[in-house]
Amino acid sequence: MSGPPPATIHLSTRQRALLEQIRHRQTAPQRLVRRVLVLLALAANPCLQTTARDLGLNRISVRLWRDRWRAAAEELAQAEKDDLSDQQFLGLIAGILDDAPRPGGPATFSPEQIVQIVAVACEPPEKSGRPISHWTHRELADEVKKRQIVKHIAPRTVGRFLKTGRPAAASQPLLAQCQPT
């Protein structure tokens, strides 16, 4: 049984030349090169299955990049009419072939807030009028809420912020050992 003919992508001479340029770049990210290879292969043969097999990818990935390129065809044609420089055109192509934004909500805490929380953790608790010698996650969460750095924060979240910046343990002692004389 034969189905509908596969959707084709059309590459102008300039588009093909710039895709080849990306493909041969030594410093191009591999994911970008792989996507360029998909487009070049589909331009030669629109069969998704063949392209996927030849490139060692799955058909869904090949279809995704074909459809993304086809959706941007009008934008690419307009860019060629506007006679964009090669650098600008390469940027446009890279943007089309870049990863889509990931799903999920925005970050709850800004980088500035996280830095301020860590800064409070670096201060001695006595400076904040706390009758403790070391910060606990609960005390630190209470203090940053009191200072209005954040409206609400869980002690566990404070602990995660402090844990992420911790360097790995040194393999050798950092301080010089006293040698017996």
- In this predicted structure, what is the pLDDT of residue 30? 94
68 and 126 in a single domain? The answer is no
Do residue 28 and residue 88 come from a single domain? Answer: yes
pLDDT average, residue stretch 92-121: 90
Q: What is the pLDDT of residues 129-168, one digit of tens each?
A: 999 999 999 999 999 999 999 999 999 999 998 886 555 5
Band of residue 104 on the pLDDT scale cut at 50, 70, 90 = confident
Residue 22 burial (CB count, 10 A): 20
Same domain membership, residue 60 and residue 17: yes
**42 and 73 inside one domain:** yes
Domain count for the chain? 2
| Residues 85, 122 within the same domain | no
The amino acid at residue 144 is V
**Whole-number Å distance between alpha carbons of 7 and 9:** 7
Angle between helical axes of 137-146 and 155-164 (0-180°, round to 10): 100
Whether residue 2 lies inside any domain: the answer is: no
Same domain for 153 and 125: yes
What average pLDDT does the structure give for the chain? Answer: 88
Same domain membership, residue 17 and residue 84 = yes
Confidence of residue 174 (pLDDT cuts 50, 70, 90): very low
Q: Are residues 159 and 115 part of one domain?
A: yes
CA distances from 55 to 26, 35, 38, 41, 43 (A): 19, 10, 8, 9, 14
Task: Tell me whether residue 137 is in a domain.
Answer: yes
Query: Residue 141's domain spans which residues?
Result: 111-164
86 with 143, same domain: the answer is no
Same-domain check for residues 66 and 123: no
What integer pLDDT is reported at residue 17 of this predicted model?
95
In terms of C-beta distances under 8 Å and separation of at least 24 residues, what long-range contacts does 109-115 make, across chains too?
A: 109/150, 109/153, 109/157, 109/161, 113/149, 113/150, 114/161
Q: Is residue 22 part of a domain?
A: yes
> Could you report the per-residue pLDDT of 113-134, keeping only the tens digit for each?
999 999 999 999 999 899 999 9
pLDDT-above-90 percentage for the chain: 73
118 and 156 in one domain? yes
* pTM given for the model: 0.59
Which residues contact residue 155 at a Cβ distance below 8 angstroms, ignoring those fewer than 6 apart? 136, 137, 138, 140, 141
Q: Is the pLDDT of residue 172 over 50?
A: yes
- What is d(CA 40, CA 145) in angstroms, rounded to the nearest whole number? 55
How far apart CA 35 and CA 66 sit, in angstroms, is: 9
Give the pLDDT mean for 35-44: 96
Six-digit token string for 123: 């201060």
Residues in CB range of 161: below 8 A, 6 or more apart: 109, 114, 117, 118
> Does 83 map to a domain?
yes
